[in-house]
Structure 1
Amino acid sequence: MVQKFELNEINYFEKVIEYKSPFYHKTQQLFLYLETYEDTTNKISFINIKDVTDEYEKENELKVLLNDQKVLIKEVHHRVKNNLQIILSLLNLELRFHDGDYEWILNKTRNRISTMATIHQQVYDSSDSAHVDALKCTEVCLQKLFGSDNSNIKFHLDVESHELSMDKAIPFSLILNELAMNSINFAFKENEEGNFYVKFGVYDDMYELDIWDDGVGLPEGTDIKNPKTLGFTIIKSLISQLDGEYNELPLSKGFGIKIIFKNVI
């Protein structure tokens, strides 16, 4: 659309227009402005044209970065809120099952917070702020638990490298923590040698997580679908956060669980 002006009616205007250049094969941003100079006898007007495409593109990039920053801040607030809710829920469960045993509660809570902090550290160290590698997550979590204090129990990994969203990575790592701590505390006698296994991969477009040990197993009559102990109550709750399903692995010795959840990143 062409706008016409009578020069004697206007002394100055400015406008940015888009121009599809036949030479550069791209849309340019042109800054047009008119200036008028006059003296006692003459009036001269100039129309100036300046290519501001680079400045326009940089401005748009800054707008995108600013919007990304706002989204990131909201995401951080969302994650902090979710993590605090998880910790609060776990503390409430601990108090229900171990009311008065505050040292036990604090030690368990410390381990869980440490596991969650490990996930956030991986995100901080990575260029991807939205995902965590399942293999690295598993390695770091278990290396902390099966350290020098529990060197009699060896952990074995068959874990594929897949990206987990933060919403999946937190319950995933906490499940590892709960089952590993159960094995360390209950599956083996003091200083008895044993093994803890983790297998993880994608099968038929679903994540499958198998975790088992070769310890004493569960007490006879234990129903992990309707848990009466705190450990499995927590594990069941965490599996629900994955929107997953689970079953006990058929083992001749020890205890194991298979967890299946959707492959969504």
Structure 2
Amino acid sequence: MTINTRENIKEELNNLKANEFIMWEFTIKTENNTVKHLRGTARKIYDNNNKYLRLSMSAQDITTEKDYTNHLIKTDREKTVLLQEIHHRVKNNLQLIMSFINLEKRFHKGEYEKILDITERRITSLALIHERIYKDENMNYMNIAKFLADLDKQLINHSSVKDIEFIRKLDDDLTFSINIVTSLSLIINELTVNTIKHAFDENIDHKTIYKSLNTFQKNHKIFCRFEYKDNRTGVENIEKILNSKGLGWQIINSLVNQMDGNYEITNKKGIGFILIFPIN
């Protein structure tokens, strides 16, 4: 019989009969403040004439066993939360994909091959996020340097322009929430496709896309400054870009609003996109 309270222990000791024993668990604190889990055992000793002789008690250190049990319980809870979180994120991303498809259908009526190509690219970006979550075993935060390196490889593989140099300047230890990474990856996707489609021509020998990330503090809040820049030739009309009704820029504006951010377009030796958004 296993019991847990001191009152029950006293009661069961008084009621113990021959060949019966009781067990209970308790904790002690050692001299160095280490907590030990113990399992106590007690039984009454009787002689051959069934006369009570003495009480036999012992204690066994079960700290390792207890810690392992608690670890299993914690792991099981974490797995339950993880599955719920995965379900939630997959559902949200599926809804996001459906929204993109509906937008593309309205914007590119009848151009099904183009719609599928654009949708495939966005799905691949979202899939990359899930892959990185699996590798990092973290559902809430992601190392942005590792993710952007993977994203650049993916963009190169899916691009018709193979001789682009992707340059990154960011803190290797910088981590963002998954929601920020999702929005940022989709923004980078749209900007990169815009660059590949409109920026580079045969006259540019060294095609580059530059990205940087750094954080700063303002009014007791932490913000991030993200910069994207290509080295296209020619002068672009910034007002035309800002007022563009193209779907790519509509998506960018929507994502920036979701991040509570704001951005500006620069036009110095190529087109630059500077985004400021809070991260706490």
TM-score of the two chains, using structure 2 as the length reference: 0.79
Q: Which amino acid aligns with 1:28?
A: K
Q: 2:213 aligned with 1:200, yes or no?
A: yes
8 Å CA contact 1:168, 1:242 repeated in 2: yes
Partner of 2:112: 102
Partner of 1:259: 275
Q: 2:173 aligned with 1:167, yes or no?
A: no
Pick aligned residue for 2:27 from 2, 6, 18: 18
**Shift in CA distance, 104/227, structure 1 to aligned 2, threshold 3 Å:** same
Measure, in 2, the Cα distance between the counterparts of 1:46 and 1:92: 79
The range that moved more, 28-37 or 239-248, is 28-37
Measure, in 2, the Cα distance between the counterparts of 1:192 and 1:80: 43
Q: Which amino acid aligns with 1:196?
A: I
Q: CA deviation at 1:232?
A: 0.5
Higher RCO (C-alpha 8 Å, min separation 6):
1
Q: CA deviation at 1:167?
A: 1.4
1:38-117 equivalences in 2 (<5 Å): 41-44=49-52, 46-51=55-60, 52-117=62-127
Partner of 1:222: 240
Q: 2:156 aligned with 1:146, yes or no?
A: yes
Partner of 1:9: 15
Q: Which amino acid aligns with 1:93?
A: L
Measure, in 2, the Cα distance between the counterparts of 1:63 and 1:6: 30
8 Å CA contact 1:142, 1:155 repeated in 2: yes
Question: 5+ residue gaps in structure 1?
Answer: none
SS in 1 for 2:196: helix
Q: CA deviation at 1:188?
A: 3.1
Q: Which digits, 9 at most, give the CA deviation of each residue in 1:176-210, with x for residues without a partner?
A: 11100011112234x34243222221133321111
8 Å CA contact 1:32, 1:50 repeated in 2: yes
**Shift in CA distance, 15/139, structure 1 to aligned 2, threshold 3 Å:** closer
Measure, in 1, the Cα distance between the counterparts of 2:153 and 2:64: 50
Pick aligned residue for 1:232 from 217, 226, 249: 249
**Shift in CA distance, 8/152, structure 1 to aligned 2, threshold 3 Å:** closer
**Shift in CA distance, 113/38, structure 1 to aligned 2, threshold 3 Å:** same
Q: Which amino acid aligns with 2:197?
A: N
8 Å CA contact 2:45, 2:56 repeated in 1: no
Q: Which digits, 9 at most, give the CA deviation of each residue in 1:62-113, with x for residues without a partner?
A: 2122222222222211221222122112112111211211111110111111
Measure, in 1, the Cα distance between the counterparts of 2:79 and 2:140: 13
Measure, in 1, the Cα distance between the counterparts of 2:41 and 2:96: 59
Question: 5+ residue gaps in structure 2?
Answer: none
The range that moved more, 12-21 or 86-95, is 12-21
SS in 2 for 1:100: coil
Q: 2:196 aligned with 1:180, yes or no?
A: no
Q: Which digits, 9 at most, give the CA deviation of each residue in 1:98-146, with x for residues without a partner?
A: 1211111110111111122223223333354543322222222223323
Q: CA deviation at 1:150?
A: 0.5
Q: CA deviation at 1:49?
A: 2.3
TM-score of the two chains, using structure 1 as the length reference: 0.83
Q: Which amino acid aligns with 1:208?
A: R
Q: CA deviation at 1:254?
A: 3.6
Q: CA deviation at 1:222?
A: 2.0
Measure, in 1, the Cα distance between the counterparts of 2:146 and 2:261: 21
SS in 2 for 1:150: coil
Measure, in 2, the Cα distance between the counterparts of 1:241 and 1:43: 80
Q: CA deviation at 1:15?
A: 2.2
State the percentage of identical aligned residues: 31
8 Å CA contact 1:36, 1:43 repeated in 2: no
Q: Which amino acid aligns with 1:140?
A: D
Q: CA RMSD in A?
A: 2.9
